[in-house]
Structure formats: C-alpha cells, structure tokens
Amino acid sequence: MSVVETGIDAVVHEDENVHHDEQNFWRKYIFSEDHKVIAKQYLITGIFWAILGIAMSSVFRLQLGFPNADNSWLKPFLGKWIDEAGKIDPNFYLALVTMHGTIMVFFVLTAGLSGTFSNFLIPLQIGARDMASGFLNMLSYWFFFIASVIMFSSLFLQMGPAAGGWVIYPPLSALPQAHPGSGMGMTLWLTSMTLFIVSQLLGGINYITTVINLRTRGMTFSRLPLTIWAFMITAILGLISFPVLLSATLLLIFDRHFGTSFYLSEIYIGGEALPNVGGSPILFQHLFWFLGHPEVYIVLLPALGITSEIIATNSRKPIFGYRAMIASMLGIAFLAFVVWGHHMFVTGMNPFLGSVFMFLTLIIAVPSAVKAFNYITTLWQGNIVFTPAMLFSIGLVSFFVSGGLTGIILGNSALDIQLHDTYFVVAHFHIVMGAASAFGLFAGVYHWFPKMFGRMMNNTLGQVHFWLTFIGIYLVFFPMHYIGIAGFPRRYYQFTSYDFTKSFTDLNMFVTIAAVFTFFAQFIFLWNFFSSIFRGKKAPQNPWRSNTLEWTAPVNPGHGNWPGEIPAVYRWSYDYSKPGAPEDFIPQNVPYSQTLESNLPHENEQISMEAEIEAQNFNDQFKNTH
C-alpha cells in the first residue's frame, strides 16, 4: 500500500531497452518458464493421475467387495485382464494395487501437490518475480511429464505393469520369472521413476534457492508464511532422500540387467538355481525406506503448511504458535530421517535395530501432536468462515489426528508383529497421509483458484464435495482397522483360502460401496474446477481477505507477478483481528507506521527500520518485471 510506483523512466537500466518480444504460444503455455504456468501444468497432470489412480482403486475394491461378481462389463477397458468368467486376473490385481500406490504417492501427492503449490506460491508469497531458475523449473516439469508418459505406457504392456507392490521389493521385482510384471513393466517403472526423481531434484533445488535468495525487502525468515516454511523444508527432505531411492533403483537395475547380486542370494526359481550369492533383499528395503519414510512427510508437510495458512485466514486469527509450528516442522523433518526401520520390524533385521527405531518413531509423534493442537487452538475463539478450503483444512486436521494415533500402535514393534502387512496399516496410512494430503490438495486448489485463474469456484458445490468426501473417506477407512485387527493380510486377491479370513464379507462390501461412492463424489470437484476456469465469477483481488503477498498482485498476475515494484514487507502474515485495527486483517506489506492504533509495543520500535527495509536492494529484481 505504501509502495508508490516510481516512474520507471527515472532509473535507466540498460536492459530496460531490451524489449521482450511477445512469446509464441509454445513458449508461453507449453515450454513456459513462468512458475504460474508450470504450477498449472503440474496441477492438471496431477488431476489426470488422480483420476486414474482412484479409478484403479475402485476396480480392485470391486474384486475385494464382490469377489464373485461378473466384471465382464470392464472388458472394454481391461481386455484380457478380465477372464471368460468375468473375474479380474490375479496378476493384474497385484498390478493395480502396485500402480495405485505408485501413482498416488509419487505422481499425485508429491508432484501434484508440491509441484503445484511450491511452484505457484513460493515466488508470490515471498515477493519474487519468478523462481531462481525458470529454465530448471521448466525442465523439472517436462522430466515429470516424460516420466508420466513412460509410467502410463507401462499400463498397456501385454505382461502388465510392475506388480510387486509400490515398494517393489526384490527378488520379486528383480526376476521376470517371478511375476510377469517384473519384466518390461518393472523396467519402465524404474525408468519412469528415475526421471521422476530427476524432476523432483530439479524442482527442489529451485524452491530452496528461491526462498533463500529471492525474498523481497523485509521478508525475513520469521515473517515467512508457514506455507513457505513447509515447502522449503519439504524440498530439503526431498533433496536428501530422493537420491537414495535413485541408488536403490540403480542397484536394482544392475541386478536385473547386469548380473550383479546386490539384492539376490541363493535363489532357486523356474527350475534353476540362480548363480547370485551374497546379496540381501534387506539392503533394498533399507535403501527404499530411507527415502520411503521422508517421502510420507514430503507428501504431508505441504498439506500441513497449506492448512496453516487457510485455517488462520478463515478463522480470522493468527495461526497459534507460529514459532512452535516451525520448530515442530523442523523436528519432524530431522526425525523423518531416522525412523525408516519401523517399516521393517519383521524383516529379520537385528531386533536391536527394532528397538532403536521404535524409540525414534514414537518421538516423532510429539511434534506432530503439537501441530494438531496448534491448529485446534487457532479455531478456538475464531470467527470461522466455512469456505470449501476451510472445510478441507478442518477435515485434514481430523484425518491427521485420527490416522496419526494409529501410527503410535504401529510404531510399537511388539504390536507391529501382528499388524504388519495387514489392513490396519492400510487404514493408517490412507487416513494420515493419503486422505490428509489429498485434502491439502483440495484446500489449496479451492483457496488459490482465484489467484490461478482469476475466477471463483462455486462455493456450494465445494461444500457438498467436502462433506461427501469427508464422510466417504471415514466410511472407507475406519472399518478397515477392524479388518486389520482380524488379521487380514494386504495385497490379497481374495480371502477364500483361509478360515480366519472368512469373516467381514459384508464389511468389505460396505467399504467397496463407500469407496466407489467417494470416487463419484470427486466428479463434483472436477466439474466445478474445469467449468469455473471458463465460467466462474470473476474474482476480486483479495477474495479471502488474506494477509499474504500473493493477494497484492493483480487478479491475473502476468509475467513478473507485480507490474511495478514488488511490495516490501514489514510484518508477519498473521495479523488477523488485531485489537485496535479497523479491519480484521492487516496485509504483510502494510508498515507499522500506518497502524499505530493496533501496534504492539515491540512493533512500534520497528517503525524506525522501515526506511531501511525499503532501501534494500539485494538484486535488481524488485524494480522491474523483466
């Protein structure tokens, strides 16, 4: 508000005279280096994958809920994977389960969530023209796109896509003779994931560099919105852990194609004793889960950051415990690297390791609990507006709490003996990671849609979408805990082989119906999303009356985000309902000198620094849009 647009003519920069030609269609919309376009590319690709991933889950849930049904009507989609009797092929069932996990964890909730919101929000919320490297950013999307094409093509192989579970443990994933999907399907999976990892690393480096180097004047780390903290910590997590997955997959490629024995030892299969000795499948599991555990926080932290922002804005209150929120995110991030063994309690690894990992795992529950309590205290004595984004954020907190609590059971190695690889685990991670992060994705889309597309989504449809999905997800995953307690193992095609799995047929049917119902409810969102892009009401500049910097940019921000100077920042982004203030929000770019009526004592002392803030010019990005 206080930033007066100086006459740009007064300052002569040489490059001012360089006039950027209007970019052609390809450079503007396809191979764009603009972070906002790239964010939308990630979002659309993520939505595509989400539809596919959830459709897959509906198919295998049909098998589990209605094992005797005739699924011939699926033949137009699945061809020979449905046999003459109308039953889904058991090999393909495993492929569905595997691809569902791979798609949802990596392509939807990592690329689709981080890729969209880190890209879109980081420059806009820290006050930057664009990412540190637009070129690397563009590469990161296109590597992701190529990885997507390769993974998608694996679905059409005659032998089927990879089918050893999303964790692709060898030797099953190393030996084509062990499962048809372990042939070309696995090769394509590995190729796709290698490119995917490259994409994530390129993106992550960019996010971190941008946050460190391109914050606007006055935007100290302690004034950053929690979204940015979350995205940056997530990027650091990814930077350290994804290369280890790369190494795990690289060694797997070596075992598959170059005769090495990293993971293989003493195997007799298909009538022959393989020559490999000395390797260990446990090595793969260690390497995989060294990424695998931080990965779940990579999936969850952006959603938590988004929730912080949305809950504060829509409660009209500061987020409670800003510094505790940062500290807990840092604590979670650090501990994320030392708990991976809790996925491996019954692998045969040394039991002493089991004890160590149990201790560390239960420690990580503490900062997570702190975050949940802080969200709830933010709601307390707020003045809550139930925008769809707010609804999804509240729903996320409920999922995070409910799913997180069962994690305490699973982190206890003695209890994990019975529950490992049962539906109890499936229920746990779907609630705490799958549903919570999906809700973060939805909340983010509803909240920042006006900024992305200059229009509003339909509020009512958003609220209906929330309630149907929220209820639906609890109906799907809550009963699953019972099925797990009863000992039902994961990745089972059907439950007819054992007496101990003869129960709960009705419950499995119920879960399937709820799952299909919830899947259909998502079409409300899809309709709302796509039709609002073209026919939504035009958005005002700050529809949510929010404090963060992105709402000071024009409704349709162009290249360079702000047409004139980037605003300077004087305060944190959580001055909502400040006593004494005329409005119930004070944006970050409003100096303390202009809010004397609501300043706290220590804030009055900062007025003298304002001129200093405005005079900062670390690089020339502030004045010109380029």
Partner 1 sequence: MTYIIGFLVVIFLVLTIMVISKMRNVLKGVNSTSEPTDNPEGNGWNAAMFIVFLVLGTVGFVWSYISAEKSFLPEASSIHGRRTDDLFWLSMGVLTIAFFFVNFLIFYFAWKYQYKSGRKATFYPENHKLEIIWTIVPAVIMALLVFTGWKAWSDITSDAPKDAEVFEIMGKQFGWYVRYPGVDNRQLGNYNYKLIDNQNEMGIDLSDENAFDDFISVSELHVPVNKPVLLKIRARDVLHSVFIPHMRVKMDAVPGMPTKFWFVPDKTTAQMRSDLTNPDFDYEIACTEVCGRGHFAMRLRLIVEDEASYQKWCAEQKTFLETYPEYLAKVPDNLKAKAMKYVPALGTPDSTMVQVTGASVGTSASLR
Please identify, using beta-carbon distances, which residue of 505 and 593 lies nearer to partner 1.
505
Is residue 529 involved in binding partner 1 (CB under 8 A)?
A: no
Smallest separation, CB 60 to partner 1 (Å): 12
Question: What minimum distance in Å lies between the beta carbon of 128 and partner 1?
Answer: 26
Q: How far is the CB of 442 from partner 1 (least distance, A)?
A: 15
Residue 273's DSSP bridge partners are 268
Closest approach of Cβ 203 to partner 1, in Å?
Answer: 31
**In whole angstroms, what is the distance from residue 150 CA to residue 447 CA?**
32
CB-nearer residue toward partner 1: 281 or 302:
281
Cis peptide upstream of residue 171 (ω within 30 degrees of 0) = yes
Which of 120, 455, 474 is CA-nearest to residue 309?
120
Rg (CA), the chain: 25
Complex with partner 1: residue 122 or 438, whichever CB lies closer: 438
Please list, residue by residue across 441-461, b when 16 or more beta carbons sit within 10 angstroms of its beta carbon and e when fewer do: bbbbbbbbbbbbbbbbbbeeb
Q: Binder to partner 1 among 43, 59, 94, 549 (CB under 8 A)? A: 94
Cα separation values, 188 from 113, 140, 221, 224, 618, Å:
24, 19, 42, 41, 45
Q: Which residues 6+ apart lie within 8 Å of 409 measured at CB?
A: 415, 416, 419, 424
* Strands 272-273 and 268-269, bridge-based pairing: antiparallel
Of 208, 207, 286, 280, which Cα lies nearest the Cα of 245? 286
Find the part of the chain contacting partner 1 (CB under 8 A) among 211-219, 221-229, 571-579, 602-610. Answer: 571-579
In the set 471, 533, 607, 613, which binds partner 1 (CB under 8 A)?
471
DSSP character at residue 455: B
Q: Report if residue 606 touches partner 1, rule: CB under 8 A.
A: no
Among 236, 326, 330, 415, binds partner 1 (CB under 8 A): 415
Q: For residue 61, state whether it binds partner 1 (rule: CB under 8 A).
A: no
Quote the CA–CA distance of 469 and 231 in Å, as a whole number. 26
Beta-ladder partners of 40: none
- Per CB under 8 A, the list member of 185, 203, 279, 560 interacting with partner 1 is 279
Q: What is d(CA 524, CA 470) in angstroms, rounded to the nearest whole number?
A: 14
Question: Could you say which of 44, 379, 607, 613 contacts partner 1 (CB under 8 A)?
Answer: 379
The residue with tokens 């999307």 is 141
Judged by CB under 8 A, which of 23, 133, 247, 463 binds partner 1?
A: 463
Stretch that binds partner 1, among 4-12, 70-78, 292-300, 387-395 (CB under 8 A): 387-395
Which window, 31-39, 125-133, 141-149, 275-283, contacts partner 1 (CB under 8 A)?
Answer: 275-283
> Phi/psi of residue 455, each to 5°?
-135, 170
Give me the 474-513 binding string for partner 1, x by CB under 8 A, dash otherwise. Answer: x---xx--x--xxx-xxxxxxx-xxxx--xx-xx-xx--x
- Cβ 170 to partner 1 shortest distance, Å: 8
Residue choice 442, 574, 592, 622 for contact with partner 1 (CB under 8 A): 574
Minimum separation from the CB atom of position 301 to partner 1 (A): 19
Q: Decide if residue 577 touches partner 1 (CB under 8 A).
A: yes
Does 78 bind partner 1 (CB under 8 A)? Our answer is no
Q: How far is CA 70 from CA 66, 78, 83, 414, 563, in A?
A: 9, 13, 10, 42, 61
x-marked contacts with partner 1 along 109-148 as a string, rule CB under 8 A: ----------------------------------------
| Widest CA span in the chain | 84
**Interacting span for partner 1 (CB under 8 A) from 25-33, 41-49, 167-175, 614-622:** 167-175
Beta strands of 232-307 (E only): which ranges? 268-269, 272-273
Identify which range of 4-12, 104-112, 138-146, 171-179 contacts partner 1 by CB under 8 A: 171-179
> Which residues in the 330-369 window bind partner 1 by CB under 8 A?
346-348, 351, 354-355, 358-359, 362-363, 365-366, 369
In the complex, what is the shortest distance from the CB of residue 625 to partner 1, in angstroms, rounded to a whole number? 27
How many residues contact partner 1, by CB under 8 A? Answer: 132
Q: How many Å apart are CA 331 and CA 334, to the nearest integer?
A: 5
Cα(600)–Cα(595) distance, integer angstroms: 10
51 forms part of the interface with partner 1 (CB under 8 A)? no
CB 165 within 8 A of CB 105: no
Binding to partner 1 (CB under 8 A) within 230-269 occurs at 264-269
| Residue 583: count of CB within 10 angstroms of its CB | 12
Task: Give the residue with the Cβ less far from partner 1, 48 or 169.
Answer: 169
Least distance CB 554 / partner 1 (angstroms): 15
- Closest distance to partner 1 from the beta carbon of 236 (Å): 23
**How many CA atoms lie less than 13 Å away from 361 in the CB half-sphere?**
25
State the sign of the Cα–Cα–Cα–Cα dihedral 240, 241, 245, 251: positive
With beta carbons less than 8 A apart as the criterion, state whether 203 and 118 touch: yes
Which 535-564 positions form the footprint of partner 1 (CB under 8 A)?
A: 537-540, 542-545
The residue count of the chain comes to: 626
Rule CB under 8 A: say whether 525 interacts with partner 1. Answer: no
- Please select the residue that binds partner 1; options are 23, 459, 531, 625, rule is CB under 8 A: 459
